[in-house]
Amino acid sequence: MSAMNNIMNSPDGFYNDRMSHGNTGSNARVRHELEAHFASESDIPVHSHVYEQIDQLEAIDVDELVKLLADEGHETTVKPVALAEFFEGLAQLATTGVVEVTDIVEAIHREVILRPLGRFNKNHINNWQRGITGRIYGTIRQVMLMVGNNLASVLRVYQHIVMQKKVQPLPDSLKKLVNVLNGVMGDHLVNNKNPLAVPMMLYDSEGIPLDEALSEHDESKHKELSGRVVILCHGLCMSYLSWQSQDSNGLGDAIENSQPNSTVLYLDYNTGRRISHSGRKFCQILQDLVDSHPNISQIDLVGHSMGGLVSRSALFYGEQDHLDWVKRVSNLITLGSPHHGAVLERIGNYVQEIIGKLPFAGSLAKLGDMRSAGIIDLRHGSIRDVDWKSLEGRSVLPQDFRHPTGLPSGIKTYFVASALVETHYESKMTDLLGDGLVSVASALGEDDSEHALFVPDGHKAVFYGVSHINLIHSRRVREQVVAWLLDNGQRDYMGEPRIYSYPRSWDVAV
């Protein structure tokens, strides 16, 4: 225990170095966890050097330690965004947007003034903030934040006093808009405590939050989940509503019709947050689900695009922590998930780096920094905290340095990829273009390095003439997913070839 106290009190110790900016509650929790760890280390010298004490931390898994040092932007709400919160969030977002634009304008102004004088360096940039011009920009930011916060406060008071007490849910159209905003800038919404930030929740087939649907207030609902549960996880900028079809024949409907004894649930979450954050939260939700409903015998996960990566991240952390829910997962199906990254995000990052190197235009690269951390994670398909936690700013480790994350053992995994062309045309361009956002190789988990995800060819399917978005609505994809779920791992696909599916028309889509 003395070793623990030495680290806590040392000016250059681990605790002061990592937690100096944390909140009191987080500090107490981390201190408790570390005390519990050191209490079992009876061989730690009482007066050993601080670096020798830090070495004792090697027994703690890096990912587990990152979880203990959670950021201040942790979700605090478990309710869907309501109509009043929507307008309050827009008021804050409008102000934040003005502040962001002011930052970019100031950066360009500063570069135009300092660069021709040869003073565009760290010292002169710091002096700029203390100068008259820098203070003017600072005043603009403070005024806009004050106005925005006051406007949001007025709307909040109006909501609680003037408006009716019954919460008005968002219309579906506005709900979809909110999820798009979360995909683009979801981490910024969380950091600014904007009410537009979408919490991670499970919904039933009627679009009702699961906790509400299973509450005692509605006797017509089943109070207990049991048997087989299939959870659909949407992709970037989408929502649980994205699985719905106009003809009531979406993937969820098809699964329920083919397997009446199964329960289909829909995950809704903020796709702008780090994928590993969403994975950890999803892992927690699934454990809470089986704790509350111990009669659930099987869980199947179907993820579209980012949803597949979030599912893999949840499985990774659940298996690492030996959680009970992982033992009940039988099938994992991903639809167009960028397991090895998305081409579009790589191109965007490359363009941003080029702009950043141009004189007088480098400040425009700040526009690229406004995109969400979730989008940045799609660059290489990063699903673990260690792929970004040690870096400054909002980047991720390069492709060759990210940490390998294999598939969980004992779970049947199926990968779906698609290509815009309608015929089986083998070429590098076809593979690279893929479905317009994700290459065929990335969606199938294929890679030349240690990151390759080894799935039998019989568990892979390529659908030609299907775009990335239409993967969740395609009849052919829907039928294949239902077939895999119906088979439920009974058939041996090891010796079977890869599945290729073509549209009825064999015309080539240019």
**Domain CATH number, residue 436:** 3.40.50.1820
Q: Are 365 and 393 in contact (CB under 8 A)?
A: no
Place of tokens 């070429």: 427
Q: Is residue 56 part of a domain?
A: yes
Task: Please tell me the predicted confidence (pLDDT) of residue 391.
Answer: 78
| Number of Cβ atoms within 10 Å of the Cβ of 474 | 22
Q: Are 501 and 464 in contact (CB under 8 A)?
A: yes
Query: Assign residue 56 a region: left if phi > 0, alpha if psi is -120 to 50, beta otherwise?
Result: alpha
Q: Is residue 194 part of a domain?
A: no
Write the pLDDT tens digit of every residue in 405-444: 889 888 999 999 999 887 766 666 666 678 888 999 999 9
Three-state secondary structure readout of 139-203: HHHHHHHHHHHHHHHHHHHHHHHCCCCCCCECCHHHHHHHHHHHHHHHHHHHHCCCCCCCCCEEE
Same domain, 414 and 490: yes
Type of residue numbered 140 = I
Type of residue numbered 256 = E
For residues 267, 273, 278 and 279, what is the CA-based torsion angle, rounded to 10 degrees? 130
Task: Please tell me the predicted confidence (pLDDT) of residue 201.
Answer: 95
- In order of 10, 24, 183, 253, the CA distances from 239 in angstroms are 47, 35, 10, 16
Q: Is residue 176 part of a domain?
A: no
Tokens encoding 96: 């934040």
Question: Pairing between strand 329-335 and 460-464?
Answer: unpaired
- Alpha carbon 160 to chain centroid, angstroms: 32
Q: Are 425 and 436 in contact (CB under 8 A)?
A: no
Distance, in Å, from the CA atom of 394 to the CA atom of 389, rounded to the nearest integer, reads: 9
CA-based max dimension of the chain = 77
The edge-to-edge listing of strands for the beta sheet with 227-233 is 201-203, 263-268, 227-233, 296-304, 329-335, 412-419, 460-464, 499-501
Same domain, 18 and 158: no
Domain that residue 384 falls in: 343-401
Same domain, 335 and 477: yes
- Alpha carbon 183 to chain centroid, angstroms: 9
Same domain, 418 and 382: no
Task: Please tell me the predicted confidence (pLDDT) of residue 131.
Answer: 65
pLDDT tens, the chain, 510 aa long: 444 444 344 433 333 333 334 444 444 544 444 444 434 333 333 333 434 443 444 444 444 444 444 444 445 457 788 776 776 777 676 666 555 655 655 565 455 555 555 555 566 566 656 666 666 656 656 665 665 565 556 555 555 555 555 566 778 888 888 888 898 888 888 988 888 899 999 999 999 999 887 765 445 545 689 999 999 999 998 999 999 887 778 999 999 999 999 999 999 999 999 999 999 999 999 999 999 999 999 999 999 999 999 999 999 999 999 999 999 999 999 999 999 988 666 565 555 555 455 555 555 555 556 678 898 899 888 899 998 887 777 777 777 777 888 898 889 999 999 998 877 666 666 666 788 889 999 999 998 778 889 899 999 999 999 999 999 999 999 999 999 999 998 887 777 899 999 987 544 433
Type of residue numbered 317 = Y
The end-to-end CA distance of the chain, in Å, is 68
Q: Is residue 326 part of a domain?
A: yes
| CA-based radius of gyration for the chain | 25
| Number of Cβ atoms within 10 Å of the Cβ of 413 | 20
Q: Is residue 186 part of a domain?
A: no
Distance, in Å, from the CA atom of 102 to the CA atom of 164, rounded to the nearest integer, reads: 37
Place of tokens 């952390």: 317
Task: Please tell me the predicted confidence (pLDDT) of residue 6.
Answer: 44
Within 8 A by CB and 6+ apart from 379, the residues are 341, 342, 345, 346, 349, 396
Q: Is residue 77 part of a domain?
A: no
Distance, in Å, from the CA atom of 390 to the CA atom of 393, rounded to the nearest integer, reads: 10
Task: Please tell me the predicted confidence (pLDDT) of residue 409.
Answer: 84
Tokens encoding 412: 């049947």
DSSP 8-class letter at 117: T
Q: Are 441 and 342 in contact (CB under 8 A)?
A: no
Task: Please tell me the predicted confidence (pLDDT) of residue 213.
Answer: 78
Task: Please tell me the predicted confidence (pLDDT) of residue 22.
Answer: 41
Question: What DSSP element (H or E) covers 464?
Answer: strand 460-464
- In order of 33, 180, 191, 208, the CA distances from 75 in angstroms are 21, 18, 10, 20
Task: Please tell me the predicted confidence (pLDDT) of residue 39.
Answer: 44
Q: Is the dihedral of CA 279, 283, 284, 286 positive or negative?
A: positive
User: Residues in the chain, how many?
Assistant: 510
Q: Are 228 and 261 in contact (CB under 8 A)?
A: yes
Q: Is residue 322 part of a domain?
A: yes
Same domain, 330 and 371: no
Phi, psi of 285 (to 5 degrees): -65, -40
Same domain, 428 and 358: no
Write the pLDDT tens digit of every residue in 37-52: 434 333 333 333 434 4
DSSP 8-class letter at 226: -
Same domain, 347 and 377: yes
Q: Is residue 473 part of a domain?
A: yes
Q: What domain count does the chain have?
A: 4
Domain boundary among the residues 401, 420, 439 is at 401
| Number of Cβ atoms within 10 Å of the Cβ of 279 | 23
Same domain, 325 and 351: no
Type of residue numbered 228 = R
Exposed e or buried b per residue across 122-142, where buried means at least 16 C-beta atoms within 10 angstroms of its C-beta: eeeeeebeeeeebeebeeebe
Same domain, 322 and 358: no
Q: Are 339 and 442 in contact (CB under 8 A)?
A: yes
Q: Is the dihedral of CA 346, 386, 313, 441 positive or negative?
A: positive
Same domain, 314 and 436: yes
Same domain, 336 and 347: no
Same domain, 371 and 497: no
Place of tokens 């549209």: 503
Q: Are 418 and 471 in contact (CB under 8 A)?
A: yes
For residues 41, 43, 49 and 51, what is the CA-based torsion angle, rounded to 10 degrees? -50
Query: pTM of this prediction?
Result: 0.71
Phi, psi of 227 (to 5 degrees): 75, -140
Type of residue numbered 202 = L
